[in-house]
Amino acid sequence: MIEITVKGSHYEIGLEVGKLLRKAGHTPPVLPPERMDLALECEKLVQKYTPSLWEELEGVVKGGKFEDTSLLQFELSLLPYPRPGCTIFAIAPEYTSSGKTLFARNYDWDVRFQQYLRFIKTFPNDALSSLSCTDLIVGRYGGINEAGLAIGLTAISGYPHDKPGVALHLATRWVLDNCSTTKEAVAFMKGIPHFRGNNYLIADKHGNIALVEGSPERVKVTPANNGLAFAANRFQSPEMLELEEEKWANQTTAQRQKIIKDWYYSREDGIDEIAAQELLSGLLSEGVGVCARSSVGAEVWGTIWSWTALLGGEIMNIADGLPSQNEFKSYSF
């Protein structure tokens, strides 16, 4: 896995990332007019609620000479995910063998995008340092920060309508940059206009765990139940589920959630990181885990990276590729 370290002010970080993108020959995608219009409506909201990330975006555009492209608009208004399949769970310290909060995550997507995956160490001058896996420019899908907080997001395919707001990956990055506790992160998530329906699982080193179900209409926060919380690709609370369109709803979420719950409640001893990695690596098709791989025409979809962490430490253990076939390796600050 390619590692990138970025340091400095957010604008300086953006300049460096922009130069890296230009050197790599990155070409931003062409967006339809309606996405450009949506991005324009998101600009002021991102400037208001996540101002340092706006500065970083400006740096990316300047550093990579992307002024005449749609890079900024793309980062503000990510296109909907067609086939999400991500799985995240967190376990409170009293239920782990280490006595630390355990966080685990599978990221599922088109396997062709694995080549764009980067491990990023982010050291902002006036914010918290963080570790993350991402193929995004400024935003993050999740990670851990130096304060011992972890966050991960999952897409809700049954919520197909985007509205002006702070996009999912930017909200997640802001939390990593600025929040030391789950309480702080939840307060931020409850205070922003959400761009799309998403789940956010948040946990800190003190054992505070919360599932945040966010949408433009409302936000629902649910604490861990008996030390366990998880997120897949559907909302869980009734008031959020009613926002989904059933015809677009993810069809494997219930199976993955059942596998996690059965695994969790069948264990008599404290759960360790190896056990969590085994669950992430077990094949969904065999009912022994949440690692997925399927074909849709010529496209192959499935788990393209996984990671686990004990919160309060400085290490993410990452499987680069299908975790059933690739070992977890340690990455640190």
pLDDT of residue 112: 85
pLDDT of residue 83: 67
The answer to whether the predicted template modeling score (pTM) of the entire model surpasses 0.85 is yes
**Burial category of 318 from C-beta neighbours within 10 Å (exposed 0-12, middle 13-18, buried 19 and up):** buried
**DSSP letters of 257-297?**
HHHHHHHHHH--SPB-HHHHHHHHHSBGGGTS-SB-EEEET
pLDDT of residue 84: 67
pLDDT of residue 39: 97
Return the CATH number of the domain spanning residue range 87-332.
3.60.60.10
pLDDT of residue 310: 99
Q: Which amino acid is at 162?
A: D
pLDDT in tens, 262-288: 999 999 899 999 999 999 999 999 999
**DSSP letters of 159-225?**
-----SSB-HHHHHHHHHHH-SSHHHHHHHHHHS-BSS-EEEEEEETTS-EEEEEE-SS-EEEEE-B
The ranges assigned to domains in the chain are: 2-76, 87-332
- Could you give the CA distance from residue 262 to residue 236 in angstroms, rounded to a whole number? 17
pLDDT of residue 295: 81
Q: Which amino acid is at 177?
A: D
Name residues of the chain where pLDDT drops below 70.
82-84
- Could you give the CA distance from residue 51 to residue 238 in angstroms, rounded to a whole number? 34
- Could you give the CA distance from residue 39 to residue 182 in angstroms, rounded to a whole number? 29
